[in-house]
Amino acid sequence: MFRLDDAPRYRLARPPLNQALVDVRFPVQAGLATMEGIAPVQQQLNTLFPYLKQQQVQQVSLVVGPGIPAAAGAQASPVWLFEDDSGWSLVLAPGSAVLSVGPQYSGFGEFSERLSAVLQALSDSAGVTRADRLGVRYLNIVEIPPDDEGAWRRWFRPELTGWSGTILDGPTRLITSLTQTQLAAPPLGELSGPPVDVQALVRHGVIPAGTVVPGVVPVQPQRSAYLIDIDVFVEAPQPFDPKELSRQVTSFHGQIDRFFYWAMTDEGTEYFGKEVDDAVGNSL
């Protein structure tokens, strides 16, 4: 999708990552709406997610502007929430599953292992036989220091920040500059899954304090922030094969990792505390 080299093996001591998640959607499994139906899934995932509760989860749209309540634009639906003590969660509904982790994220290796277990449980214990959508999303939000409002211009490449990052006069304050780009590319080389385009949504730019950013848990930064929100996905029916779906997720992650690494300047990698070492995994 991107004409970029693979990112090196690296980590960030102060990563801007707010949430990493994988979203898989499938035909409604009525049994997953009941305690009896969810029990086998819980048993299979009990080691990874020892806590289970039913709750109302809000679905929130991106709302830009200060003073907007976090519930704006939200709809609630009953779902099952699996959790552990390390910040990982699995939100499971009759027609979807979202595996996510917040700033506790330590690398793609653990993310991939947990995803494989979740997909296997959905196949074995919930009887899911088809996937209709598979997506990987990394939500990065870095608050801008109040005494250095132009810092984001130095953290990220001018090809990303655009004209608002290059030609504004010194006293001019940028309140909001948010760009959304949608991409599609044929599944060549890395992917041999469904014969449809792989798509991506890339949102990036400056958002004001109080902006509601959708996620598993909606985010509302307290100060102006720079947002890089990357979602790579495929929407097409395909067999629910845990190994093949995991392989596609690995490929999607690779595209996101390349883009984010390219987006940072040398000053940005220094600010986020980049460390490159063959012994560490990718920060994304």
pLDDT of 253 over the 80 cut: yes
The total number of structural domains in the chain stands at 1
pLDDT of 21 over the 70 cut: yes
- Asked whether residue 3 is domain-assigned, the answer is no
- Count other Cβ atoms within 10 Å, centred on residue 133: 15
Helix (H, G, I), strand (E, B) or coil at 23: strand
Q: How many residues does the chain have?
A: 284
- Count other Cβ atoms within 10 Å, centred on residue 105: 20
Which regions of 127-219 does DSSP assign to beta strands (E)?
130-143, 177-185, 198-207
Containing structural domain, residue 65 = 10-276
pLDDT, one tens digit per residue, over 81-114 is 999 999 999 999 999 999 999 999 989 999 999 9
- Asked whether residue 119 is domain-assigned, the answer is yes
Which DSSP letter does residue 231 get?
E
- Asked whether residue 2 is domain-assigned, the answer is no
Is residue 176 within 8 A of residue 208, CB to CB? The reply is yes
- Asked whether residue 110 is domain-assigned, the answer is yes
pLDDT band at 189 (very low <50, low <70, confident <90, very high): low
pLDDT of 131 over the 80 cut: yes
Its pTM surpasses 0.85: yes
Q: What is the arithmetic mean of pLDDT over 25-43? A: 95
> For the chain, where are the alpha helices, taking DSSP H only?
35-45, 108-125, 151-155, 158-161, 242-263, 266-271
Two structure tokens written together for 266: 């040398």
- Asked whether residue 216 is domain-assigned, the answer is yes
Q: What is the arithmetic mean of pLDDT over 229-233? A: 97
Q: What local confidence, expressed as pLDDT, does residue 172 receive? A: 86
